[in-house]
Amino acid sequence: MQEASADNAPDSKASLPWHRTVVGKVAIFMLMGVIFAYLMGAMLGFTMVERSARDQWGREAQMNAQIVSATIRRIYTSVAVRTDPGGQVTQLVSTRPIGDEESVLSTGFSPIDVLALASAQTRHNVWLFSLTNSRRFTPVANAYSDTAGELVFPNAAELGNAPFANDFYVGFARIGGEAHFVSSLPIISPQGDLHGVVVSSIGLKSELYHLHRELILKIVASLGVVLLATALLLSMLMHRLFKPVPRLIRALTHIAHNRADRATPYTWRSDEIGCMAQAIETLRKKVEEREHLLEVKEQALRYQHLAHHDALTKLPNRVHFNDALQEAVTQAPHGAPFNVMIFDLDRFKAVNDTLGHAAGDTLLIEASQRVQALLEESDLVARLGGDEFSIIQQARHDGLAKAQQLAHQLVEVLKEPFAIDGHEVHIGVSVGIALAPRDGTSSHTLLRSADVALYTAKAMGRGRYAVFNPAMTMGGAPHEG
């Protein structure tokens, strides 16, 4: 017999994990080695390129600052500079803001002309910004004569407050919503007050990082090619050594999708493939058995639901309601009091006779939905038959007030018109109320009391509610609303 049981398979083979097989070890070693080597090489290369590029950008930005400061000093002879020990210009010192009307009249140059001269040498745009009272930099002029937006430096905490401490700054900044790599020369008064800044760019951030993007794309492409070649090699190796594995995987996939009608292949083999196949076959049989039991259970639940719910409104039916009422009566001595309401729809028969049974069914569905919207989570509404409904309302405190409140809401919400098949339909509702345990300690007594109250409400003109009173059975006046 070829179909051997998984329980009879050799323990050593059945317990052999995948990572201890030859193919598993080769696959793991090759993939991990390739990924590790490429990731380390990519990280190292990217770091070196990033550092080199940053240094180059910084040197170019500092050179631009030197060129801009020299150009400004040629025009504005009253401007002085401050330098660091290495000779780098770090500040422009001026008794008044550069680029104002007085400087234009005294030099004959507009700020745009001065910035254009500097831009011609740096081959990039140069901006002049003034500092407002709110410590924001607004544009005065730029070399390209285009519209410039506000100057925004990166987080000041990351820069050691450099732009706001009147210091020279080299790095990224946003001008008019675009990120540039810039050098920023503060313009200060002899007393140290900041007038503004002269900013020269070496290029947009997106342009400067173009090389980085190309490098990353090449790294990803190379890694993809190597991984593809490795995957092809491994697939060929696994195909030769473990040809049955794809079929066993498909068998497991069928089981995972609850398709357990096909027998598992290779159960006759005595190696680890056979052990795996036998385990899959055992699982398949278990799944097949479980699916059959689930179908039986689902069918039983479906029948049970149909037996306890109304097919039209999907509400609990009379059987379900009677069971719930009997349970509530049983728990009443130990639990909270509750109310029982019976109500039916006034003028429902006229709608049924005039517009047809389909319209009547729609009316019942919409009316039941309105009623459900009024109930709390612990309450229960059921359709007893026709247009007759009943409610079990939990009432831990002041049951009479809760019953009257809900009954009043029922009357109000159901007298609102319904739109049925293009017709405006008006109905009403009559409600009878019994309080447990005051009006009965058995389900039969409570239903009878609520029914008597309902009859009284109808007799008093419909479209109202009545609370059961023992006097009702003896012709006394009911408590109604």
Catalytic machinery residues: 387
Cα distance between residue 2 and residue 281, in whole Å:
13
Q: What are the DSSP calls for 148-208, one per residue?
A: ---EE-S-TTTTTTTGGGT--EEEEEEETTEEEEEEEEEEE-TTS-EEEEEEEEEEEHHHH
Integer distance in angstroms from the first to the last C-alpha of the chain? 82
Cα distance between residue 201 and residue 150, in whole Å:
15
Contact status, residue 426 vs residue 355, Cβ threshold 8 Å = no
**What radius of gyration do the chain's Cα atoms show?**
44
Cα distance between residue 406 and residue 462, in whole Å:
17
- Give residue 71's Cα distance to chain centre: 56
> Strand pairing of 465-467 and 428-436?
parallel
Cα distance between residue 336 and residue 315, in whole Å:
24
Contacts of 109 (CB under 8 A, 6+ apart): 75
Contacts of 25 (CB under 8 A, 6+ apart): 19
